Structure 1
Amino acid sequence: MSRPRIAVAGAGSIGCFVGGLLHAGGHDVRLLARARLCEALARHALRVTDYGAVDITQRDVAATDDPATALEGADVVLVCVKSGDTQTMAQLIRDHAPQAQVISLQNGVGNADILRRALPSADVRAAMVPFNVVSRGRGHFHRGTSGDIMVEAGPLPDLDCQGLRWVQTDRIEAVQWGKLVLNLGNAVNALSDLPLLTQLQDRRWRRVMAAQMAEALRILRVAGITPAKSAAAPPWLIPHILRLPTPLFRRIAAQMLTIDATARSSMWEDLTHRRPTEIDALQGVILDLAQRHGRQAPLTARMRGLIKDAEAAGAGPPGLDPSDIDARF
């Protein structure tokens, strides 16, 4: 059986990294990206690296800002746009690749449903990407943390390749909720303007992360939502691990996650490049649930407000101290 033609719809950091590995693995891959990125890839090639052995440079990856060129003839479309752009991308897929299998590699919990409503005849799958990828410029994308992509169970082409493994699950919604709880830390990292590894060495920052996660888990419990494990530990345990003294935390964390010294959150990258963040698809979802069930989530609201302030200021990550977020820290 021939390999599927793959379109990466909205190729940013995650899309370029995943698309680059798939192309290196022998797949026919087209990247639908902004013109500026297409120009960078044409000038410098696409380079994907990670914390381990992956270091691949490719000069023949097809990248275009024309939806028809990227999408028409695709057997599989990997949707990698920000949550706010899902509806627009769904319309483009409907126009140019209505019969393709569609896999959402997006943050948040509602994007696959948006795609299904717009593409009722398509095989749409939700997925969860556990690792972090940051652009280093000049067509270079670096993965700083470990993990396998989890995808909604069902018929799927063989997409495994060097540096990339796809694991099917019949609990994808619960897994996505688990990832959303972890992704609340994206805002903390963006506000600190620190590498994630440096931030995790500071118990004050870990207490901020733990308090925010614990607050969100309380809201999910009231809403009747049970998040599944999307990392090495179940969601309810992670706040306790984060609060441990640093020497003990380091020993436990080393067994749970591989992370290099350069890893940053996607929200940090968005603020750095003066782009809108996904705060409403993360903290905003928790706040909506809290309001719906008559509960308060003050720390979550504080995080959302600080990110919105940073977006409005347009000056990049603000470099806050934990005490700037809450006097308790």
Structure 2
Amino acid sequence: QLAAALPAGTGVLSMQNGISNAAVAAQAGAGLVVLPGMVPYNVAELGPGAYHRGTAGRLVAQRHDVLDGWPPVFEAAGVPLDLVDDARPIQWGKLLLNLNNPVNALSGLPLRAELMERGYRRCFAALMEEALGVLARAGIAPAQVAALPPGKLLKVLRLPSPVFRIVAARMLKIDAKARSSMADDLTLGRRTEVDALCGEVVRLAQAHGMQAPRNAKMVQLLDVWPRKPEQLSPARMSEALGL
């Protein structure tokens, strides 16, 4: 639709979570300059036309001539945009954090409340640890997009909750209303983006002769939701992931 409506050479930012969306969009929109980007903050839809930004951060996009002159416009609009030469490490760094999205969606809780449950944090950490092993095999070094590098974040996530509350005070600066977009999708009975997150880890693992069973399990759990909606307790989710 964009290719039909826009002049050839128009820049289009693909700001979706995941890794492959810009490539898919480029195939669908021949003639457009599709560039990958990343949204670091949480946005929750509180109602029709009401969107709530619950965390902080700056937009990131792949540097290209079509974006020359645009950063000041984004800055003036209150959504600052940083341009980078290679967005792929940042996309993978964000994907690692997004592995909490299916955990949050299946918990039925707002993000902050879910992160205060150690059982859910252990599930998130298990998914991230599995993904880091796959990335290491693939020779991909994810960028640090959170306050802590991924390895240290794993240790923090597994801390007892009273200690986690202190050590991760910056991470917990999340609006009480914030939740993952995947949770919104479940509420509305829509297909989720789990295949672009956990599914991407599974495909990368397979491409390098590995398995990613925990991320594969999360894809399965989200895929059956429309037919069997069921929120999972920390214990049940941990059991499903083999923890």
Relative to the length of structure 1, the TM-score reads: 0.67
Give the Cα–Cα distance (whole angstroms) in 2 for the partners of residues 237 and 311 of structure 1: 36
- Deviation of 1:121 after TM superposition, in Å, equals 4.1
Q: CA RMSD in A?
A: 1.8
SS of the aligned residue for 2:76 comes to coil
- Deviation of 1:182 after TM superposition, in Å, equals 1.0
Which consecutive unaligned segments of at least 5 residues does structure 2 have?
none
Q: Structure 2 vs 1, CA of residues 311 and 238 (structure 1 numbering), >3 Å: closer, same or farther?
A: farther
SS of the aligned residue for 2:75 comes to coil
Alignment match, 1:139: 49
Deviates more, 1:226-235 or 1:259-268: 226-235
Q: Which one of 229, 236, 251 corresponds to residue 144 of structure 2?
A: 229
SS of the aligned residue for 2:168 comes to helix
1:304-323 CA-partner distances (Å, limit 9, x unpaired):
1111111333x4xx221122
Query: Would the aligned equivalents of 1:232 and 1:257 in 2 still touch at CA under 8 Å?
Result: no
Alignment match, 2:217: 302
Query: Would the aligned equivalents of 2:15 and 2:37 in 1 still touch at CA under 8 Å?
Result: yes
Of structures 1 and 2, the one with the larger relative CO (CA 8 A, separation 6+) is 2
Query: Would the aligned equivalents of 2:202 and 2:215 in 1 still touch at CA under 8 Å?
Result: yes
1:256-311 CA-partner distances (Å, limit 9, x unpaired):
46311111111110000000101111111111112222222221122111111113
Tell me the matched-pair count. 235
Q: Does 1:97 align with 2:6?
A: yes
Q: Which one of 9, 16, 27 corresponds to residue 106 of structure 1?
A: 16
Give the Cα–Cα distance (whole angstroms) in 2 for the partners of residues 261 and 284 of structure 1: 29
Q: Structure 2 vs 1, CA of residues 279 and 290 (structure 1 numbering), >3 Å: closer, same or farther?
A: same
Give the Cα–Cα distance (whole angstroms) in 1 for the partners of residues 120 and 238 of structure 2: 11
Q: Structure 2 vs 1, CA of residues 162 and 122 (structure 1 numbering), >3 Å: closer, same or farther?
A: closer
Give the Cα–Cα distance (whole angstroms) in 2 for the partners of residues 137 and 172 of structure 1: 32
Alignment match, 1:245: 160
- Deviation of 1:153 after TM superposition, in Å, equals 2.0
Give the Cα–Cα distance (whole angstroms) in 1 for the partners of residues 194 and 116 of structure 2: 24
Q: Which one of 2, 25, 28 corresponds to residue 115 of structure 1?
A: 25
Alignment match, 2:194: 279
Q: Does 1:215 align with 2:215?
A: no
Alignment match, 2:182: 267
Q: Does 1:323 align with 2:212?
A: no
The letter for the 2-side match of 1:302 is K
Q: Structure 2 vs 1, CA of residues 326 and 203 (structure 1 numbering), >3 Å: closer, same or farther?
A: closer
The letter for the 2-side match of 1:101 is G
Deviates more, 1:124-133 or 1:114-123: 114-123
SS of the aligned residue for 2:227 comes to helix
Query: Would the aligned equivalents of 2:112 and 2:172 in 1 still touch at CA under 8 Å?
Result: no
Sequence identity of aligned pairs in percent? 44
Q: Which one of 76, 83, 106 corresponds to residue 191 of structure 1?
A: 106
Query: Would the aligned equivalents of 1:145 and 1:257 in 2 still touch at CA under 8 Å?
Result: no
SS of the aligned residue for 2:169 comes to helix
SS of the aligned residue for 1:112 comes to helix
Alignment match, 1:55: none
Give the Cα–Cα distance (whole angstroms) in 2 for the partners of residues 252 and 169 of structure 1: 30
1:38-78 CA-partner distances (Å, limit 9, x unpaired):
xxxxxxxxxxxxxxxxxxxxxxxxxxxxxxxxxxxxxxxxx
Q: Which has the larger radius of gyration?
A: 1
SS of the aligned residue for 1:102 comes to strand
Q: Which has the higher strand share?
A: 1
Q: Which one of 64, 70, 79 corresponds to residue 164 of structure 1?
A: 79
Q: Which has the higher helix share?
A: 2
Give the Cα–Cα distance (whole angstroms) in 2 for the partners of residues 96 and 162 of structure 1: 25
Give the Cα–Cα distance (whole angstroms) in 2 for the partners of residues 248 and 238 of structure 1: 14
Give the Cα–Cα distance (whole angstroms) in 2 for the partners of residues 320 and 198 of structure 1: 14
Which consecutive unaligned segments of at least 5 residues does structure 1 have?
1-91
